[in-house]
Structure 1
Amino acid sequence: MTSTALPAQKKGRSRRSGTPWTRGGCITCKSRRKGGCDRATPSCNNCLKLGRVCEGYDDLWVAPLGPSAPVFKSTRGPKRQKLNSSSPSQPLSPSSSPSSSDSWQDVWQNSQLSPQPITPGWSIPSSPQDRVRDLDVDVASHEQNSGEQDRLSVIPKPKGFLSHLSGHEAHYLQYHEAMASQRLANLESEHNPLRSFLIPRAMSSPLLMKAVCAISAMHLSNRTDSLDAKTAAIDFYGRTLRGLRTVMAQSVTEIVPDDAILAVGMMCKYEVVRGSVQQWVVHLTALHRLIASRGGLGSMEPEAAHFLRGLYVYAYSMGRISNRKKILGSLILADTDMEAPRLSIYLGFTEDILKICACVAELPSLQGDDISLRLSIASINDSLLTWTPSSARLNIPQDLTQSTLIRLKLVAECFRDAGFIYLHSILEHMSRDTSPPCNATPQPRGPITEWSALITTPKQIAIDRLLSRIESFPLDDNCEYSALTFPLFIAGAESDVFEHRDFVLQSLGKLQENFGIGNTLRAKDVLRILWARKDAIAQDPSKNVHWMDVLEELQWELTLA
């Protein structure tokens, strides 16, 4: 009886005493084949007790990552050439023109794309050795044999169903599955297509895999300031562009596959995450042309079409708000669902509001026709007044909780207030614009007071209501709040209340910290420049400066997505 009881007692003591053994320990404990790793950050207590350097964790999502959390480190630093002057952490120079994106732009502009029937999905072969000169870092060819091995030495070799991937691909794919996919959507659900659709698709498409890994690595770099992740993001980005150029070269004789179009959509998303102010419009325009070349979304697989529709409508509408002159003038993407469209992870309940804002952006084209302009202002005002979250008939996933739906509706209400503010803003900018549109007969235009009289909600009331509502939000890591960049930006740009500035900057800072999307930094840059200009001319009532003037001077293609 004693001999049979001892093993059970020994097993019980090992499970109850000390720190339980886990397969998910730090890299140091795994390499030493030691249990007892408690996975604490920044260093596990097991390494601290033994006086060893804890090399971090290969599964970075084991705990929420702070902005300065350590990721992984190698015993030797990888060899690199120094960063160029246009680093993503700094505002881009208006004259910068990355060669990789220009080449991609040339390719799709020169391609003879025409509508074609749908064919089964297709992907290009993986090309692990491809390394290109990209936006921020020139990666030398000898890094493949030196620094690359240093970084990969701390990333476990993929096993099981990931075994066909490189160490970096498996690493960033897993990070995307557990962290980035939740932080890079405006709606989290069990069936988040960034996971349930995109990951299985990428597992069989080397091209799409590189695009997903580029976004994942850039997101990790934003949240941790990891130079390794930043370098990996640039590498994956460049290799994705090479793959897309190969597809475009074959587009004359072959149909552009769904995976390639999805990869272009991911490139547009990459630039938003990175905080680009010069390149994302190139990818958005290419996405529009490629979908048109297929004959529309209806020719694509239903899941791919649904995903791309939400992504494109969201990016297009946000682009029209801040880049009217640089975004395609018409949105020609028909709904793919025969019945009510599904609730999009990007649009939520805001789709109708975003489309109204896109109509507001078109008002300057009516400057030569005062009657049409007044009718349009009145129509937009009525649309904003009568809008409700339930206005659009949507198929809502069954797994969404009531609290999630409440957050989505609150965010949508913020967008309605932002719509009123944006309408006032555009009209004020038009009233100071003395240059008539092309081919339009200059006509006397009504003063801003007459135009504003057609809007039932005064600008300051909309600003106060919007910021009061956001102030009641926790702005935590519930990803529905990640959509608030545009409402915060437009309120900060149009408010004359000095105290609002700190609140807007703090709120945008929370979004950056919680969601790691780089465009919040660019929005803050524009606001700081705008406020400095306003303060400089505060003593001269005859002068004024508008946020669109600042963007024009900087030549920035700011996206508020």
Structure 2
Amino acid sequence: MSSDILTSPVPPPGLTRLSISSTSQPSSSSSESPLTTPSFGNPLRFSSDGGSDEEPEIVPKVEELEENGIPIPKIEPSSEDNTISPSPITPRRGRGRPRKHPPVTTTAAKGRSKTGCFTCRKRKKKCDEAKPSCNHCLKNNVVCEGYPPKAYWRSGKQRRASFALDPPAELPLLIDGVETETDRIFLDHFNINVSRVLTVLNDDGNPFRTILLPMALRHAGLMHSVLCLAGSHLVERHPGNYDYVERQAHHFGQACRKLRMDEAMAANMAGESDMIIEDPVIASTVVLCLDTVVNGDLHGQYRYHMDSAEAIINRQRKDPRHMSRNVDFQMFLHEFFNYHNIANSITNYQRRNVFMSEDFELPQFMIQPEAGALLGVMDGLFGILSRIRKIRDSVRQRKHAGYLPLVDYELLSDAQQIDVALRQWRCVHEKGTARHVASMLYRQTTWIYLRRTVLADQPPDQKVHEAVHDGLMYLRQLPGDDSTQSILLMPLFLLGCSAYKTEYRPEISEAFDRLQAYSEFGNIKYARQIVLRIWEMMDGGDEDVWDWETIISNMGWDFLIT
């Protein structure tokens, strides 16, 4: 019977439980006889349902067997028919080699959060993601660098649509200030045309090409000034081109704003600082002054720029540290300022020129008159013009005070000394060249300026007529397309203000036409209108025709005749 029990997979009907002793020896209190299994050597005891066995009862352990890799379910007895029924169990991985098809894991591994602050992510610390700064950074006394921008989920279709709609990234500007096609036209026009009509030097020595333009490529304020000047010149040519007008106004506003923002320039004008002004800032003042000449401004806008240049030069005279290390630019600045300053004093009695100061001297580096970009400054003629201006101021004061004669002996003595200096003056340019002829024209009109001042309200004499005739002779020798046309407005104006004979006037009018065709500056037509007004006064016998400075002032005009 014991043999059947051990080998049968199903217990006999008389047995319901199989008790396995936890010890290797049979209990002394049990009434059952022990049965020994040869293979395990463990005693087994069976008890009936009504037995009083005190040992703990356990469910028999069924070994998990596998057949072809498939686990066999565990069998438990049934309460109805006293048979063991299978119950669901959780499969366990068997020992040995891994299964060919392991169970699929449905739970995804949790990845590292990417919504923490940049500081915690760099330090590989957990971030509490508090805003605006996480508490972890505050606790550790470190700077919280913030959080990455919030990314919103978009479908593939939305991403493709956004790529198609987003414009490509713009390239940076090659040259600051040159932003549109019109700006590029302005820049080319400055280099090819405007720079050519601003100086007598049209070769490689043109300072507007060799000095100012390279500066403008590195300085936005100066570039805006250059484009403003070129735009004004094109507007004079094409007044109906709205694009030119609009871009010129834009560059003018930007150039003025850059000047106002420059701390050194503002402090220098206020006389409150020793800050050194950069060369491009000074050059911007020069170019904006020329812009008033080109656009024909009549309201004295040039004064701000001329006063700025004068303040800079005076500061340089007091402290050489403020002088530019670029000697070529420094010489250009002095020549430009002095030329326009003297020319301004010829037509405006309210503004005195620097040559009228007793202690004024040209700097030592201006010792080569033949290298000048203009005429009259470095060769000494403008010093003579400033002395004549002093005599004119005295004559005007005597007239207002009612003194007679208007030119007393003291003023006449000063005029004779000027006449001697003018006769001793020698041209530094080679004979037969256009610059030599232009210099002789300057000398001739300077003497006419002196003669008209000494005569004042007296009628003209034969010497004045002959001087005008000789001046026209020089003027005829200068071709209409020569670079000397850029400096002819001032001597042409003096000739016109002394042309009492009507036979001289057509030739002077033709010279105005040539000058207008060459440079196309806006101030030329206004200078011509003043000459026409003086001719009317001459024909009417007006005694005040010699005082054209007052005539211009009464007209309400204030502009540079350069």
- Structure 1 residues 246-270: Cα deviation after superposition (integer angstroms, max 9, x where no partner): 1244655643322212111112111
Quote the Cα distance in structure 2 between the aligned partners of 1:205 and 1:420: 43
Quote the Cα distance in structure 2 between the aligned partners of 1:344 and 1:521: 27
**In the alignment, is residue 322 of structure 1 matched against residue 347 of structure 2?**
yes
Q: 2:479 pairs with 474, 487, 497, which one?
A: 474
Quote the Cα distance in structure 2 between the aligned partners of 1:491 and 1:339: 30
- Return closer, same or farther for 1:467/1:159 CA change in 2, 3 Å cut-off: farther
Equivalent residues of 2:228, 2:248 under 8 A apart: yes
**In the alignment, is residue 175 of structure 1 matched against residue 179 of structure 2?**
no
What is the one-letter code of the residue matched to 2:556?
Q
Partner of 1:386: 424
Partner of 1:359: 387
Quote the Cα distance in structure 1 between the aligned partners of 2:366 and 2:509: 43
Q: How far 1:290 sits from its partner (Å)?
A: 2.4
Q: Aligned residues: percent identity?
A: 20
Partner of 1:300: 324
Quote the Cα distance in structure 2 between the aligned partners of 1:160 and 1:237: 19
Q: How far 1:482 sits from its partner (Å)?
A: 2.3
Q: How far 1:291 sits from its partner (Å)?
A: 2.6
Corresponding pairs, count: 368
- Structure 1 residues 30-52: Cα deviation after superposition (integer angstroms, max 9, x where no partner): xxxxxxxxxxxxxxxxxxxxxxx
Q: How far 1:407 sits from its partner (Å)?
A: 0.2
Equivalent residues of 2:496, 2:505 under 8 A apart: yes
Equivalent residues of 1:186, 1:483 under 8 A apart: yes
Equivalent residues of 1:183, 1:515 under 8 A apart: yes
More displaced stretch, 227-236 vs 172-181: 227-236
DSSP 3-state at the match of 1:495: coil
Quote the Cα distance in structure 1 between the aligned partners of 2:415 and 2:501: 26
Q: How far 1:341 sits from its partner (Å)?
A: 5.6
Quote the Cα distance in structure 1 between the aligned partners of 2:247 and 2:318: 34
**In the alignment, is residue 166 of structure 1 matched against residue 154 of structure 2?**
no
Give the TM-score taking structure 1 as reference length: 0.59
Quote the Cα distance in structure 1 between the aligned partners of 2:412 and 2:469: 26
Quote the Cα distance in structure 2 between the aligned partners of 1:542 and 1:263: 43
- Return closer, same or farther for 1:283/1:189 CA change in 2, 3 Å cut-off: same
DSSP 3-state at the match of 1:503: helix
What is the one-letter code of the residue matched to 1:547?
W
Q: How far 1:321 sits from its partner (Å)?
A: 1.4
Superposition RMSD in Å? 3.1
- Structure 1 residues 24-74: Cα deviation after superposition (integer angstroms, max 9, x where no partner): xxxxxxxxxxxxxxxxxxxxxxxxxxxxxxxxxxxxxxxxxxxxxxxxxxx
Matches within 5 A, 1:341-420: 343-347=371-375, 351-367=379-395, 370-390=408-428, 406-420=433-447
Equivalent residues of 1:306, 1:336 under 8 A apart: no
Equivalent residues of 2:178, 2:184 under 8 A apart: yes
Quote the Cα distance in structure 1 between the aligned partners of 2:328 and 2:545: 48
Equivalent residues of 2:176, 2:219 under 8 A apart: no
Partner of 2:138: none
- Structure 1 residues 220-258: Cα deviation after superposition (integer angstroms, max 9, x where no partner): 222343443333323222221111111244655643322
Matches within 5 A, 1:81-480: 162=175, 165-167=178-180, 168-225=182-239, 226-247=241-262, 248-249=265-266, 252=272, 254-277=275-298, 278-295=300-317, 298=320, 299-301=323-325, 302-328=327-353, 330=356, 332=360, 334-337=362-365, 340=368, 343-347=371-375, 351-367=379-395, 370-390=408-428, 406-429=433-456, 432=457, 458-475=463-480, 477-480=481-484
Q: How far 1:199 sits from its partner (Å)?
A: 0.8
Equivalent residues of 2:173, 2:179 under 8 A apart: no
DSSP 3-state at the match of 1:496: coil
Partner of 1:439: none
- Return closer, same or farther for 1:232/1:542 CA change in 2, 3 Å cut-off: closer
Equivalent residues of 2:186, 2:227 under 8 A apart: yes
Q: How far 1:182 sits from its partner (Å)?
A: 0.8
- Return closer, same or farther for 1:500/1:158 CA change in 2, 3 Å cut-off: farther
- Return closer, same or farther for 1:337/1:509 CA change in 2, 3 Å cut-off: same
Partner of 2:104: none
Quote the Cα distance in structure 1 between the aligned partners of 2:386 and 2:297: 21
More displaced stretch, 171-180 vs 157-166: 157-166
More displaced stretch, 195-204 vs 167-176: 167-176
What is the one-letter code of the residue matched to 1:240?
A
**Relative contact order, CA 8 A, sep 6+: which one is greater?**
1
Partner of 2:538: 534
Quote the Cα distance in structure 2 between the aligned partners of 1:342 and 1:542: 40
More displaced stretch, 274-283 vs 290-299: 290-299
DSSP 3-state at the match of 2:243: helix
Partner of 1:132: none
**In the alignment, is residue 484 of structure 1 matched against residue 488 of structure 2?**
yes
- Structure 1 residues 278-299: Cα deviation after superposition (integer angstroms, max 9, x where no partner): 2223321221012323446952
Equivalent residues of 2:222, 2:280 under 8 A apart: yes
**In the alignment, is residue 515 of structure 1 matched against residue 519 of structure 2?**
yes
- Return closer, same or farther for 1:409/1:373 CA change in 2, 3 Å cut-off: same
Runs of 5+ consecutive residues of structure 1 not aligned to the other structure: 1-156, 391-395, 397-401, 433-447
Give the TM-score taking structure 2 as reference length: 0.59
DSSP 3-state at the match of 2:351: coil
Quote the Cα distance in structure 2 between the aligned partners of 1:468 and 1:223: 30
- Structure 1 residues 139-160: Cα deviation after superposition (integer angstroms, max 9, x where no partner): xxxxxxxxxxxxxxxxxx9999
What is the one-letter code of the residue matched to 1:235?
H
- Return closer, same or farther for 1:243/1:289 CA change in 2, 3 Å cut-off: same
Quote the Cα distance in structure 2 between the aligned partners of 1:255 and 1:163: 23
Partner of 2:44: none
Equivalent residues of 1:214, 1:236 under 8 A apart: yes
What is the one-letter code of the residue matched to 1:528?
L
Partner of 2:71: none
Higher Cα Rg, which structure: 2
Matches within 5 A, 1:28-107: none
DSSP 3-state at the match of 1:458: helix
DSSP 3-state at the match of 2:433: helix
- Return closer, same or farther for 1:158/1:354 CA change in 2, 3 Å cut-off: farther
- Return closer, same or farther for 1:528/1:379 CA change in 2, 3 Å cut-off: same
- Structure 1 residues 375-432: Cα deviation after superposition (integer angstroms, max 9, x where no partner): 2111111122222212xxxxx9xxxxx79x7100101111111011111222333xx4
Quote the Cα distance in structure 2 between the aligned partners of 1:303 and 1:198: 11
Q: How far 1:174 sits from its partner (Å)?
A: 2.0
- Return closer, same or farther for 1:228/1:469 CA change in 2, 3 Å cut-off: same
- Structure 1 residues 85-111: Cα deviation after superposition (integer angstroms, max 9, x where no partner): xxxxxxxxxxxxxxxxxxxxxxxxxxx
What is the one-letter code of the residue matched to 1:423?
L
More displaced stretch, 414-423 vs 274-283: 274-283
Equivalent residues of 1:530, 1:546 under 8 A apart: no
Equivalent residues of 2:221, 2:284 under 8 A apart: yes
The structure with the largest helix share of the pair is 1
- Structure 1 residues 152-208: Cα deviation after superposition (integer angstroms, max 9, x where no partner): xxxxx9999548832244332222112211112133221211001111111111111
What is the one-letter code of the residue matched to 2:387?
C
